[in-house]
Each structure stands twice: as structure tokens, then as C-alpha cells.
Amino acid sequence: MRVLQGIAVSPGVAMAKAMVVDDQQPRVTRRFISRANVDAELRRLTVAMDMVAEQIQASQQEVATELGDEYGAIFSAHLQMVRDEKLNESLIDSIRYRHYTAEYAVSQSLARYIQFFERVPNPFLRERAGDFRDIEQRLLNVLFGADSKRRLAANHPSIVLARDLTPSEMANLDRGNIRGIVTEVGGPGSHSAIVAEALELPAVVGVGPHLREIQTDTMLIIDGHQGRVIVQPDEETIARYEQEVEQQKQTKIRLRSLRDLPAVTTDGETITLMANIEFPHEADACLERGASGVGLYRTEFLYLGQDSEPTEEDHYQVYAKVVHDMQGSPIVIRTLDLGADKIYGDSHTPESNPFLGLRSIRLSLRNTDQFRLQLRAILRASVLGDVRVMFPLVSTLHELRQAKMLLSDLMEDLDEQGIDYDRNLKVGIMVEVPASVVMLDRFAQEIDFISIGTNDLVQYTLAVDRNNPDVAALYNSCDPAVLRLIQMAVDSAKKANIEVTLCGQMGGNPVYTMLLIGMGLRSLSVTPSAIPEIKQICRTVSAEKCQELAVRVRDMDNAWEIKRLLRENLRQLFPDEV
């Protein structure tokens, strides 16, 4: 038995035999054409480009139909690449002046793009190499007359193993027998990860070149919670995971009955359970799971995969839909939380460390035209229900004040135009860097609420890139330094009498629920699917017992021992489910 560690991008457990997928890229040799055949070869290229554009549009429609327009928008970027003027000039020049065949021109030109993006230090830009690889494969398939629509299918339960999977391959995935996905490269923001989570397929990425040593039909277990791939598991491990899978099925069935019940501890403390969402249609999942509202509405997909930046009306329409669908429940809209590399792509100078660069509130304050559009739309939507605005990655009071000043200016503009908005709009910040925790007593004087974003707080506290498999083991939410910062944030918020919510992945992990309650948190925002299980724990424990656990943890200085203690306490509550 062998255990490989990767990055967990889609939760769940899958047990099946491996289906190893190679690139299946047609082999291209260096060949030339005569001068007399140049025009004919250019026509072949044009036909191929048009056919690939049609394929991409078809993939976009298929994905949009099954998962929603937001997921289909992933292919808009591919269509834009196919029509890219520089790429087309490069292909035409290779045929017209170097007399390359269309196949070799495609192979050479796309290889330069792929190699460039594979070498850049920016992890988000590196993911674009897969997009260009997808286009290259499509073009070569058309030119060689090969199957232009490879369908990943299996005649028995299988786990797909690949160096990477292109968006088109993910779109053509046979969900009948494909039980999970493992890739050598990639990160949480990759298109494959996004689609895998939408399909609710367990997925682990960034495992590294170890996959090349695994043969088709090798027995595998992938743990999409811990980011583990277990190769040729022994009988004991198989039995343990089989039991876990069965327990998860039974638990899901039983937890459905909790949807309309409150999350109240046995000694009467109410825990507000809200949902994190990315797309408007996810409001349905929130209601199905009994969410008390949307504690984190990510707005990034308004910007990704689009041919142009979203308009004010684009923003307003999606916000209005969520407010309407959530039927009066509170909606916390987070402003843009992306880096400049994601918005501006090639036109932005690559940053050596994008996590410490121009991103989130910094980018919004630099690009105030777009920021104003988003804030105006939020203000307009605020009269439709309980809408709140939250600024991400705020690290200084100056940033907060700049953002609030823009918001105030827009309120005056709307007043002059006779456009209604909520004049008592609540304003909050994401607490996700140590600086904001340390200065929270001052921040609290100028805001209405905070939301602790544990994903980034862990990363910045421990100086660990959570997308880097080489240091993934150091990323630990149980680290005493992280727990102290969370406690400081909760205490500061309570002292200032402002609302505090925790919205990172830590909040959706049942292992931490008792500890978080014991630390004083009374509001959690998690993925909709996690709500029933977290609610079950809340209704089973007393806040007093949770506080006793938090006191014990406070005296511990080893992250692994803390995690073991938390697991043991959860096991005592639910011995048949943990």
C-alpha cells in the first residue's frame, strides 16, 4: 500500500480501479509543403479553426445546460484564444513563409504558449497552459481527422488518472462509471477542479509525477477531504473506507430531516448556519439544506471566462436573483477577490508571488471604475432584501476607509439620481491576514461585522502556499498560532459588539465545530452540502462542553495533538460515523 498526498479540491471518497489517461496527442513530425500548396494549406487551417470554434461553442452549451451558464463560461476564454489575432498570425506566418504543414504550425505555435505558461511562477497563470493544450489537441484532432470529442468513459467503476484534464474532457466525462479524478498538476482554481466540484466528484490534484508509476486497473482510494490517493490499499484500509462510504450515504439520508430545525445546542445556544456560494443558481441548494442565509457570496465568476468586464447591470441582475431566491434571508456580497493576473491575463506583468501582490481590495482600489460599478449594483440590490457588503483581504485602515469613501460617494450619486438604496447598508471586512486581527479593535469602530476567512488566514499566518503540494503538509488549521488569532478576532468583535462569522473551509469541517462553538463563534458560513452535518453536531452538544474543549486546546502547543483531540471528541459524539 502506498499513500500519495495531493491537494483536495472536491470532497468525498471514491474507491475503484484506475483508468490511466494519456494525452493521446497526435504525433506531429516536421514536414514542409511546396509553395504551390500554401493557399490550400491555409484553407485547411481556416477550416480547422472554424470547426474547433464550433466544438468549443457546443461544449459551452452542453456544460451550461447541465451545470449553469457560469460553468459554461469557462469555454468563452477558449473561444477567445482560438480567435486571438497574435496566435492566428503566428500560424499563418508559419505556413506562408516557412512552408510548414498546418499540423506542424499548430504544434510549434501552441507549444510556445504552453511552455511559456508552464514556466511562469504565478500559479494562476500556469493553469492557462492547460487551456492552450486543450486548443492544440482539438486543432490537431481535426487536422488529422481523429476523434474531435474524446469522451472519458468506462465500462466499470473507475477513477481517472491523468497528467491534467482539459475543460473539454471534463465536459465530456461519462458520469455513469467515473467515480473520481486524480491529476498530477493543477490547483483549487483550475477549471478541472471547478467542474469536478460542480459534478460532486471526489477529486485530488497536484499529486505530482508519481501517477506515471500507476497502471490501469490498479485499485485506488481517493480521499477528497484529505487530498490523499491510496494506491493498492490493504484489506483493512478498504474495509475502513467502505464503511465510511456507507455511513456517509446513511447519514445524508438521515440528515435531510434536520433541514427545517434550528441549530440550537442542548443548553440553548443558537448557532446561525449560513452558506457560501459562487453562482446564483446555488440559492436552491441553500434552501434545500436549510441555510439561514448566504454568509459569503463570491462574485469572481462575473469576471472569469468572459470576453469583457461585467457591466453594472450584469452585477445587479445576479445579485437581484440571489436576493429574490433566498426569500428575505441575509445575503453577504463579497467584492472582487481575485488577482490582477486573473482579470488582465497576458496584459498584466506576471508577479513572482501573487498571494502578496495586487489582488482583492488592492486591485479594486487600483481599478476604481470597475469597483464603482460593483458597489453601485450592490447598493441598488440592497433595497430588495437584507443585503450586506464585505471587502476582502483588508490589511490596513487606509484600505477600509478608501473603500467606504467610494461607497459614500456612490450613495450621494444615487441620491442625486433619485435611485433608492438601503441607507443603513451593513459593511464588513474579511479577516484573513494577521494584520487585520491585530488591529481589529480599530477596524471594529468603522464596520458592522467581520467574517473570518480561515483559508487565507492559515496561509498567511504560517507562510504556507496552500496550493503548493511541496509544503501542503505545513498547512494546518489546528496550528496553535492560527487558533490564537481566531480567538483574538472573536474576542475583539464581541468586545466591540459587532457580528462575527467564520466562513473558511474550517467552518465546514465537522472536526472543528465543537472547538469553534467553544471559542465563542455563533455564526458559521459553509458550503451548502456541509450544513446538515454541522447542524447535527450543534444540536447534539452543549455550549458548555464545547467551552471546556476550547480551554483544553488553548493549553496545547502541538497541532497534531490538537487535531487528534478534536477527532476523539467527535468520535465520542458519533461513534458510528467518524
Handedness of CA 184, 190, 193, 196 (dihedral sign): negative
Please report how many Cα atoms fall inside a 13 Å half-sphere around the Cα of residue 7, on the Cβ side.
23
Q: Which of 478, 503, 538, 546 is catalytic?
A: 503
432 labeled part of a ligand binding site: yes
For residue 191, indicate whether it is catalytic.
yes
Task: Judge contact between 315 and 374, C-beta under 8 A.
Answer: yes
| Grid cell at residue 309 | 468586464
366 labeled part of a ligand binding site: no
442 labeled part of a ligand binding site: no
Inter-axis angle of helices 74-82 and 191-198, nearest 10: 150
- Residue pointed to by grid coordinates 498567511: 460
Bridge partners, 175 (sequence order) = none
Task: Judge contact between 298 and 334, C-beta under 8 A.
Answer: yes
Residue 30 contacts by C-beta under 8 Å, 6 or more apart in sequence? 100, 104
376 labeled part of a ligand binding site: no
Name the E strands within 327-469: 331-334, 387-391, 426-431, 449-452
Task: Judge contact between 392 and 432, C-beta under 8 A.
Answer: yes
Q: Give the containing element (helix H, strand E) for 219.
A: strand 219-223
Q: Which of 78, 191, 315, 348 is catalytic?
A: 191
φ and ψ at residue 207, rounded to 5 degrees: -75, -25
Nearest to 386 by CA among 274, 490, 303, 259: 274
Q: How far apart are CA 61 and CA 44, in angstroms?
A: 26
| Grid cell at residue 33 | 509543403
The total number of residues shown for the chain amounts to 578
Q: How far is CA 316 from CA 40, 336, 419, 428, 523, in A?
A: 49, 14, 13, 20, 27
Q: How far apart are CA 204 and CA 261, in angstroms?
A: 34
Give the three-class secondary structure for 293: coil
223 labeled part of a ligand binding site: no
Cα angle 440-342-396, degrees, rounded to a multiple of 5: 15
298 labeled part of a ligand binding site: yes
As a whole number of Å, the CA-based R_g of the chain is: 25
For residue 286, indicate whether it is catalytic.
no
| Binding site residue list for Mg(2+) | 432, 456
| Binding site residue list | 298, 334, 432, 455-456, 466
| Binding site residue list for phosphoenolpyruvate | 298, 334, 455-456, 466
Active-site residue list: 191, 503
